[in-house]
Amino acid sequence: MSGQSGLVYRRFLLKLSGEALMGTGGYGIDMSVVQRMAGEIRQALDAGAEIGVVVGGGNIFRGLQGAAKGMERATADYMGMLATVMNALAFANGLEQAGVEARVMSAIPMPTVCEPFVHTKALHHLETRRVVIFAAGTGNPFFTTDTTAALRAVEMRCDAMGKATQVDGIYSADPKKDPNAVRYERLTYSEVLARDLKVMDGAAIALARDNRLPVIVFSFDEPGNLLKVLRGTAVATLVTGDA
């Protein structure tokens, strides 16, 4: 952790869903949304943060849905990984337009499109103030991009991982459907697993728990919220170890 510019978390892994990139549309990528998110990341970088990003692919193709429709699961998951590469390239373009250096690193090598994921090179990019967008999941089927995000955060020695959502934390139920849903200020990894809170899959939570990686669930819809998260002042849910 660092006190630089009041940051509680200096090196940070941001997990974005593919759906977040499509804005109010029902499919694809809304570049105005990407540009707004890029502005948030630039603000964080200007404050002294180092940022890695994992983006999902659900706005283009979701492996589980493909498998449910009769496609072989591994094939469907590989298609989903390719969708994350498309999103990562779009996001990198938005960052470059905002004056931020970015690198897309894919777990599935495709050198004509982006860099392959190499652990030491990714660390170097972060240290030289480039945003690294980790694409193609872990490179393996049956793993979600949530698990990818936890894995990359641990590999990159991040101070914390943030999951950006449309609500301001983890609730006992969907607050958009249940007016009595309770928002949690703080939870342990064990509580998230025991209560079967669907904010992330069990493998991601277990990986974070085993490596003592704090997980922060927050809303990315509120302007300036990423910097507030890094400074520890955002309305959010913090998932850590036992008190």
Residue for token pair 């298609």: 79
Structure tokens at 36: 């707004």
Exposed/middle/buried for residue 103 (C-beta within 10 Å: 0-12, 13-18, 19+): buried
When divided into structural domains, the chain yields a total of 1
Cα(first)–Cα(last) distance of the chain, in Å?
19
* CATH code of the domain containing 114: 3.40.1160.10
Q: Over its length of 243 residues, how does the chain's per-residue pLDDT go in tens digits?
A: 444 569 999 999 999 999 899 888 778 999 999 999 999 999 999 999 999 999 999 999 877 787 778 889 999 999 999 999 999 999 999 999 999 999 999 999 999 999 999 999 999 999 999 999 999 999 999 999 999 999 999 999 999 999 999 899 999 988 889 989 999 999 999 999 999 898 899 999 999 999 999 999 999 988 999 999 999 999 999 999 865
> What is the model's pTM?
0.94
Domain boundaries, position 16: 4-240
Instruction: Report d(CA 146, CA 203) in Å as an integer.
Output: 8
Instruction: Report d(CA 67, CA 98) in Å as an integer.
Output: 37
